[in-house]
Amino acid sequence: MKVFAHRGASGRSPEMTMAAYLAAVEDQADGFECDVRLTKDRKIACFHDSSTERISGINKRVSKIEFSELKTLAKVISLEELLTLAIANGKDLLIESKHPVLFGGAIERKVLALLKERQAEIADSGIEIICMSFSWFAARRFAKKNSACTVSKFYLQAILSPTQIVALNIDLISRHPKLVKSLRKRGKRIFSWTVNEGSDMKYCKELKIDGIITNYPDKARKYV
């Protein structure tokens, strides 16, 4: 069972900052997880929310400001910076595109273009990169060019997933443990999010979940 740092080691460092991902390296996470959005100047930012209000207290839409302003407000890093860190440290990378967004499918195209541009480095490093989304359409766009994963917190969405990898909410797994067995019979790989409690980490190991996404990779190492 692999351990992925959810927005970095966000349990002890500000989410999706360089500090959070460096902490994840220190905590011996197997990989990083991040969310991506496009800024006004079409830079791929590692940022979860559609606005900066929760992080900075200032309400600005990510799609309406340039990357430099977002970096000032929220200390974010770009996907390219995170990719460089992942390659340098041999960390797998889960990239989740957020929807609905102003730029539609442009975020998937930009991500795939970056991965293609750096495919030789990625291959040499031996890391695995998986692109993810709650959006069925985004997951399909990713699946045409890259390893892809459908993120789901609903039973039917998981069953109808168009990808060979599925990331299930831990509460969904707790309510429907047979879902894991059903998906595995169909050859699916299964991740779970956001797994922060020791009891849930242990449960995921018992179910032979392929990877957990957690705010506390140091804690999760005890259960792998």
Domains and CATH numbers, the chain: 2-223 (3.20.20.190)
Query: For the whole model, what pTM was predicted?
Result: 0.97
Residue in this structure with the two tokens 């890093």, named with its chain if needed: 77
Two structure tokens written together for 199: 């009891």
Q: What is the mean pLDDT of the chain?
A: 97
Phi/psi-derived region of residue 208, left when phi > 0, alpha when psi is between -120 and 50, beta in every other case: left
Q: What is the pLDDT of residues 55-92, one digit of tens each?
A: 999 999 999 999 999 999 999 999 999 999 999 999 99
The Cα diameter of the chain in Å comes to 47
CB-based contacts of 36: which residues, under 8 Å, 6+ apart?
Answer: 44, 45, 46, 47, 79, 95, 96, 97, 98, 107, 111
pLDDT tens for 143-156 read 999 999 999 999 99
Comparing 95-104, 118-127, 147-156, which segment has the lowest mean pLDDT?
95-104
Spell 129-148 as b/e; 16+ CB within 10 A means b. bbbbbbbbebbbbbbeebbb
SS3 213: strand
Of residues 97, 203, 186, 195, the one with CA closest to residue 142: 97
Does an H or E element contain 35, and which?
strand 31-38
Does the pLDDT value for residue 103 go beyond 90?
Answer: no
Which pLDDT band holds residue 220 (cuts at 50, 70, 90)? very high
Which residues have a Cβ under 8 Å from the Cβ of 190 and sit 6 or more positions away?
Answer: 165, 166, 167, 168, 180, 183, 184, 209, 210
Query: Are 13 and 29 in contact, with CB atoms under 8 Å apart?
Result: no
The answer to whether 76 and 90 are in contact (CB under 8 A) is no
pLDDT of residue 131: 98
> Cβ(223)–Cβ(198) under 8 Å?
yes
Q: Which two tokens stand for residue 73?
A: 């407000």
Residue 44 near residue 22 (C-beta atoms within 8 A):
no
Query: How, if at all, do strands 44-46 and 31-38 pair?
Result: antiparallel
